[in-house]
Amino acid sequence: MMSTAERSTELPRSIPIEPSREYGESEPNEFDYRPVPVLAPVSLCLGLVAAVGMLGLLGLAIPLLGTILGGVCLRQILRSNGEYGGFVPAVVGFGLSAVFLLFGTVFHAHAFATEVPEGYERVNFTQDISKKEFVVAQGQLAPHPDVAALDGRKIFLKGYMFPQFTTEKLKGFVFVRDSGDCCFGGNPPLTDMINVAMTNSKTADYSSGLVSVAGTFHVNDPRTGAEMTPVYELEADHVERSRTPFR
């Protein structure tokens, strides 16, 4: 047995003491910073707003740009052998842009293919009517043969409603080919105007944007036309704000 005196003289075992750390000194970390290409956040931002591509044709430029820049950014990151970060935002931006680009394109294509009512043929107001100026036949002013061929046919075309004092429940209105004629005054040429008369007790409300009209087309004698009195007429049974910007 060890005596009390011997116990008191026994040295305590040494306890390892960590070196003191000065105040404010932080723990060492192994975080390895990797630079993020500027295209990564740009691609993400474009992807987040890419839904505007569903609203109009021009809006498709945003998801298209996002898809291109996102693809370039991903290629840059994957080829960097781990030197660049930002893979996740680049993937998200690229994916959102690609999805909205696809759905937006399909949506607008479907709208264009189905906007013409059954039994009507699509006619371009500018190319098929407005640019076909009157001709002189046997010394007399006459409609262009291509426009005359549309007489009595059911057509679908797009243009703008000429402003009137009344804006609701219109039984008829003057239809012009572009917004310059309807919104900025002036007297459009006779070939740029169509007198629209609603049929079957239908009415239409004024719209300042692009409008689609469908009905039976008629051509009158140009010699009877006076200023702001259209030579062309359309018995319309379908008027609506245009679903697409395509003519």
Q: What pLDDT, on a 0 to 100 scale, did the predictor assign at position 23?
A: 45
Q: What pLDDT, on a 0 to 100 scale, did the predictor assign at position 2?
A: 52
Beta strands 154-161 and 140-142 are unpaired
CB count within 10 Å of CB 152 equals 9
Q: What pLDDT, on a 0 to 100 scale, did the predictor assign at position 4?
A: 52
- What are the strands, taking DSSP E only, across 109-163? 121-122, 135-137, 140-142, 154-161
Q: Which residues contact 136 (CB under 8 A, 6 or more apart)?
A: 142
Q: What pLDDT, on a 0 to 100 scale, did the predictor assign at position 56?
A: 78
Segment 205-216, tens digit of pLDDT? 998 889 999 999
* pLDDT < 50 regions, the chain: 23-26, 28, 184, 225
pTM of the full predicted structure?
0.70
Q: What pLDDT, on a 0 to 100 scale, did the predictor assign at position 220?
A: 84
